[in-house]
Structure 1
Amino acid sequence: MISQNTITIPGLDLPASRVALGTWAIGGWMWGGPDDDNAVRTIHRALDEGVNLIDTAPVYGFGHSEEVIGRALEGRRDKVLIATKVGLNWKGEKPFRDSRPARIRQEVEDSLRRLKTDYLDIYQVHWPDDETPIAETAVALAELVKEGKVRTLGVSNYSVAQMEAFRQHAPLSVVQPPYNLFERGIEHDILPYMVKHNLVGLGYGPLCRGLLAGKMTPQTTFPSTDLRSADPKFQAPRFQHYLDAVAQLRTLAEKHGKSVMVLAIRWVLDQGPFIALWGARKPAQIEGVSGVFGWHLSDNDRAKIDRILKNTIPDPVGPEFMAPPNR
């Protein structure tokens, strides 16, 4: 069931807010380092704004994001849905895919400890592991559901064929793909599959690494420790193309009395059974969540958006650069 503010995830009793807090930046790694006190205040601000789903992963700061969330949710756990992930290992600060059953067993215990909880609401395979049969991964996760350590399962960055293979051995409730105005590759296969099989999408990157927050200029630069320093969208000449698109999207948003950031989130929610992962690491970055609700983009608005993208971005690129290597 989908309402303006919430959506029901199969297997969970508590309806989830359609805007969730994404916490990659809170971990600090690839985002210029952590700021824990601000992170805790950000989580509390999100809860105060009605957000009740927090999405994280062990690789976000190599456990640090989960630890900060565990600290922030003390005394509030029963009112919050926690979604975390499994299936990435690392050496030093170099992640690689690892969904072996033994790794899953280790990761779930580590995540439970860091998050200070005895169950996870949503447990997602972060990236498909080409070296481990999907059946082995799915069976190991199904066992965690039977044991009560995990309530529902999801996959992230999976193809339709990989989801089909997973569902032969374990129930699937959530799919987490990259999805935003600029990165729409899922629309021809994954989105129809979600709708057909009653899967809820946790769309990650709805603001496209901050591009759609509407605050960047041609002079904006990123240190080498920032993910965006290696993102082709933020390199000349593409960066200017995307900034031109944002400027025109802002004009459209202002006709609704909204910011371009709110328009970008509303667009994702209007595309189907989605929860948008709103990434933030400072309380001020939560401002605007309430403006997402109570309105919709019209068919005419969506057509205008498509024309803006076609006219301003001659050489679009996706998020493929983020994919970690196999073992």
Structure 2
Amino acid sequence: MDTVTLHNSDITCSRIALGTWAIGGWMWGGNDEQDSIRTIQEAVDRGITLIDTAPVYGFGESEERVGLALQQGRLRQRVAIATKCGLNWDHQGPYRDAGRERIVQEVNDSLRRLRSDVIDLYQLHWPDPTRPVEEAAEAMADLKRAGKIRAVGVSNFDADQIRAFHAVCPLSTVQPPYNLFERDMEKDLLPVLGELGLDTLTYGALCRGLLSGKMREHTRFDGDDLRNNDPKFQPPRYRQYLEAVTRLDALARRRYGKRVLALALRWLLDQPGVSVALWGARRPEQIEAVTDIQGWHLDDDARAEIDLILADTLTDPVGPEFMAPPDRHHR
């Protein structure tokens, strides 16, 4: 599998990373612990060497399962762990809290849950509008100097916030949403990322499963699954996205003998500015398609056809804004 060495660090990892939000169960209708452990171990066996998690994914559950899976499989030395900070939670749910005290508490809690003495990549999950960006940057710079973390990243930051953070604490990575259906990063972030030389860990590669090719009009989601509130999964938009997937799948079959999932990941990895693509999974069989992404690239004609399909089918596109958590004062 292709690898990349992250900017301002000595961390070399696979260009596909395992995203573990769904493994935590929360907002994905629950999940089975043994399935989670097998998924993590299967990902490493297939050459994935970066695992991305966060405390808020299942309120500690995802980190616990990552730590347990790596310990049971004796895999810790084979992977880099990326986790996050800056979200707190109570009975009302998660909210942004990126104060120094919270960040220091979180890093210690994460180290314990992950069963590790260091976090390879520590990321501020969301900017906290109630506090200066510099406060979190200073706290994370101190954690790096103390040896608790190896590299620093931010997630869901805009260009100005990235600049302000980077001026205080040099960044290695930025984690924005990016996939065939959600492309705001191209106009908002790419220029500043290129200027600063930062790497990206893009999330949402399959757009909450839409680009897996497995969704149908009658597909339903259990319990607290976030797709029950995702505007993309509501009519009439849902039908438009499904039509786009059908046509993208036909393109992938005709040109490359692949399916839409492989096309979506290959498109993402071939995009300028994409260093690592996070691929979410919660069952071992969902990792198997990783072999379909290696050893080929999209040509210019295919890229042009993809853009035509999207322009023709998505007359009312919408981004991932619904996922943004509130700050402490607006819940």
Cα distance in 2, alignment partners of residues 225 and 15 from structure 1: 36
SS of the aligned residue for 2:177 comes to: coil
How far off is 1:31 after superposition? 0.7
* TM value normalised by structure 1: 0.97
Cα distance in 1, alignment partners of residues 3 and 115 from structure 2: 26
Cα distance in 1, alignment partners of residues 257 and 285 from structure 2: 19
Residue 140 of structure 2 corresponds to which residue in structure 1? 141
How far off is 1:224 after superposition? 4.3
1:187-225 CA distances to partner (integer Å, 9 max, x unpaired)?
012022222222111110010000000011111112341
Equivalent residues of 1:101, 1:136 under 8 A apart: yes
2:179 counterpart letter in structure 1: N
How far off is 1:299 after superposition? 1.5
* TM value normalised by structure 2: 0.96
Residue 127 of structure 2 corresponds to which residue in structure 1? 128
Residue 323 of structure 1 corresponds to which residue in structure 2? 324
Cα distance in 2, alignment partners of residues 302 and 97 from structure 1: 38
Cα distance in 1, alignment partners of residues 188 and 57 from structure 2: 28
How far off is 1:13 after superposition? 2.9
Deviates most, 221-230 or 126-135: 221-230
Cα distance in 2, alignment partners of residues 298 and 41 from structure 1: 35
Tell me, yes or no, if structure 1 residue 308 matches structure 2 residue 305: no
Residue 286 of structure 2 corresponds to which residue in structure 1? 285
**5+ long unaligned stretches in structure 2:** none
1:282-323 CA distances to partner (integer Å, 9 max, x unpaired)?
001001112212111111111111100000010000000000
How far off is 1:34 after superposition? 2.4
Cα distance in 1, alignment partners of residues 296 and 193 from structure 2: 24
Equivalent residues of 1:214, 1:261 under 8 A apart: yes
**Which of 27, 30, 33 is matched with 1:30 structurally?**
27
Residue 295 of structure 2 corresponds to which residue in structure 1? 294
Cα distance in 2, alignment partners of residues 323 and 218 from structure 1: 26
**5+ long unaligned stretches in structure 1:** none
How far off is 1:117 after superposition? 0.3
Residue 103 of structure 1 corresponds to which residue in structure 2? 102
1:275 counterpart letter in structure 2: V
Tell me, yes or no, if structure 1 residue 64 matches structure 2 residue 61: yes
Tell me, yes or no, if structure 1 residue 52 matches structure 2 residue 49: yes
Query: How many residues are paired up?
Result: 324
Equivalent residues of 1:21, 1:55 under 8 A apart: yes
Cα distance in 2, alignment partners of residues 93 and 302 from structure 1: 43
SS of the aligned residue for 2:168 comes to: coil
How far off is 1:14 after superposition? 4.1
Deviating beyond 6 angstroms after TM superposition, the runs of 4 or more aligned structure 1 residues are none
1:61-111 CA distances to partner (integer Å, 9 max, x unpaired)?
000000000000112211110000000000125100000000000000000
Tell me, yes or no, if structure 1 residue 7 matches structure 2 residue 4: yes
